[in-house]
A and B are shown apart, each in its own frame.
Chain A
Amino acid sequence: MSLDKDTVRRIATLARIRVDEEALEPLAGELNNILGWVEQLNEVDTQDVPPMTSVVETEPFQRVDRVDDGGQVEDVLANAPEEAEHFFVVPKVIE
């Protein structure tokens, strides 16, 4: 369960966060510290204990199928760093 810097690099890529090469090792250390601390959870007997799927006991609320939203393209785009012809603009995606 110990992270090395390659693992940190891989996780940082999964999370799309740029981490400088020199920061990988110290970060691995910090994360290992935290992960080592949470290891104590293995002391708890959780045989046959269901994972918590909902904190509240309540009847799930479902919406009626009708259009009551959208039609607000100006608001949707208002904070866009880059937009053109009502599209969001990003660097070209290569498929």
Chain B
Amino acid sequence: MSDLLKGRSGDWELVIGLEIHAQVVAEAKLFSGAATTFGAAPNEQVSFVDAGMPGMLPVLNEACVEQAVRTGLALNAEINLQSIFARKNYFYPDMPQGYQISQYEAPIVGEGEIVIDLPDDESCTIGIERLHLEQDAGKSVHDRHPNKSYIDLNRSGVTLMEIVSKPDMRSAEQAAAYVTKMRAIMRYIGSCDGNMQEGSMRADANVSVRRPGEALGTRCEIKNLNSIRFMRQAIDYEAARQIEIIEDGGKIDQETRLFDSGKGETRSMRSKEDAHDYRYFPDPDLLPLRFEQSYVDSLKSSLPELPEAKKQRFMEAFGLSAYDASVLVAERETADYFETVAEGRDPKLAANWVISDLFGRLNRAETPVSESPVVASALGGLIDLIADGTISGRIAKDVFADMFDTGRSAFEIVEEKGLKQVSDTGALEAAVDQVMADNPDRVADYRGGNQKLVGWFMGQIMKSSGGKANPQMVNELLRKKLGSG
């Protein structure tokens, strides 16, 4: 499938690289012991180190190193047994030290790759350039005062993993799939909660265009995209903007841009440091970070099964389509839920129920699967009743709705409401005979060629049986009896 964009003067190829900033799950910050929880009152979670006070010094948090290594392993990436913290020097009110402690020439994680899920059961591999640890900045609030900005340093010093992809993506869709997968991976291993609304995961997109086969074009960076939807819009807008400029004979200025979600446009950022001379040098307050291969190996052995591996296993072991498998593995909780339901049952049936019915209700109720009123074993119970013919698939839908609303078991509901399906041949034959006798014109119509009428007959019988007639059997009987004569 071609992702090429059509310009006025021919095809264009879109080249996208993403930088993801992911807040690491940890109690305390990267270099200080202040808390990291979201939503605290201003400057309540600030140590003197985070406030950049005179004489303060950073001390590395061991859990953050662990999370970075685990994430690197989950990205199939090279783990660097030695890495260096470097200072990135620039002035900004939310950067109290006047520099950010980051990593530059020697990051903790090197090259890796992930597989992303595309439509039509396709997938492709996107390369990872590197992952490094760095401090997050504080927050500036600009709307509490007409000509002043307010600074909250709670977020200052929180651990970020910056994950830089290779410029391997060719469409906004691929970019979205990449972010989705990256988020899933980090949530699986618990290194980042991926909450884009709260800002614990942010993306910057580097976007350029080129004629197919030519060298890379000049790229623009779109910063701080905090939803996948906005990212797609921003990329599409930016691609069109760049194509138009070039086709009009202009050149792209390499610059940093922001996405205005209200207008759906990207615009140039005015006052960021024009020279961007960060004067990186190794932080003399910190020693080079070193660990042994045995440390890496032990972290690797304790990683859970990752989304891609789980997806492949679901496809092979359960015969699911790539699409269904990828939907189920999107979250570890849903994958676990599904596996419980599928155990000893028809996996495709289980997949359908989980994906269509359960997810449908959960999404409407804005409830996570961990809080589902229908637990996995209960859904399994419902499926068992379909499998052994106790109820029809049609009735099961109603039973499921009741289960979701009341938390009761399928068996209980079927018993109480008397919903067992009627599969008795005699009773069904009688019902079919009855409806045919009552509607001779329609019978004649059907026999005259209007085969679609079987649906109407079905409807009548389902109505008269209170929905309990076994639909497959009724269908067979109808076709047999209507067909003859």
Chain A interface (Cβ < 8 Å from any Cβ of B): 10, 14, 16, 53-54, 56, 58, 60-73, 75-77, 84-95
Contact = CB atoms under 8 A, between A and B. Distances in A.
Contact of B149 (A14, A62, A75, A90): A90
Most buried by B among A56, A75, A87: A87
A88 B153 contact: yes
A92 B142 contact: yes
Contacts of B43: 73, 76-77, 86-88
B47 A87 contact: no
Chief secondary structure at chain B's binding surface: loop
Interface string B19-44: 00000001110001111000001111
Closest 3 CB pairs of A and B: A70-B34, A65-B63, A87-B150
A62 B35 contact: no
Given A89-B148, A92-B149, A14 B275 contact: yes
B381 interface: no
Contacts of A91: 147-149
B35 A85 contact: no
Contacts of A84: 144-145, 148, 150
B43 to A, nearest CB: 5
Interface string B267-287: 001110001010100100011
Given A53-B84, A53-B288, A70-B35, A63 B41 contact: no
Contacts of A89: 145, 148-151
29 contacts: A14-B279, A60-B287, A62-B59, A62-B61, A62-B62, A65-B28, A66-B27, A67-B28, A67-B34, A69-B28, A69-B47, A70-B44, A70-B47, A71-B34, A73-B43, A76-B48, A84-B145, A87-B42, A87-B151, A88-B43, A88-B93, A88-B150, A88-B152, A89-B149, A90-B93, A90-B151, A92-B148, A94-B271, A95-B269
Given A70-B46, A84-B145, A93 B84 contact: no
A88 B151 contact: yes
Contacts, number: 137
Nearest to B37: A67
Interface of B: 26-28, 32-35, 41-51, 59-65, 84, 91, 93, 140-142, 144-153, 258, 269-271, 275, 277, 279, 282, 286-290
B35 A67 contact: yes
A76 B157 CA distance: 15
A79 B33 CA distance: 21
Contacts of B288: 53-54, 60
Contacts of A64: 62-63
Contacts of A88: 43, 93, 150-153
A95 B92 CA distance: 11
Nearest to B149: A93
Contact of A63 (B28, B84, B286): B28
Given A14-B277, A66-B27, A77-B43, A60 B150 contact: no
A60 to B, nearest CB: 4
Nearest to A94: B271
B142 A93 contact: yes
> Which of A54, A64, A72, A88 has the most C-beta atoms of chain B within 10 angstroms of its own C-beta?
A88
Nearest to B25: A65
A89 B63 CA distance: 33
Given A67-B27, A69-B32, 15 more contacts: A53-B288, A63-B59, A63-B61, A65-B64, A70-B32, A70-B50, A73-B41, A77-B43, A84-B148, A86-B43, A88-B150, A89-B151, A90-B149, A93-B93, A94-B271
Nearest to A66: B27
A86 B42 contact: yes
Contacts of A73: 41-44, 46
A65 B147 contact: no
A10 to B, nearest CB: 7
A87 to B, nearest CB: 4
Query: Which of B43, B60, B144, B270 has the most chain A CB atoms inside 10 A of its CB?
Result: B43
Nearest to A74: B43
Nearest to B42: A86
A16 B33 contact: no
Interface centre among A10, A60, A70 (most CB of B within 10 A): A70
Contacts of A68: 28, 33
Contact of A53 (B27, B42, B48, B282): B282
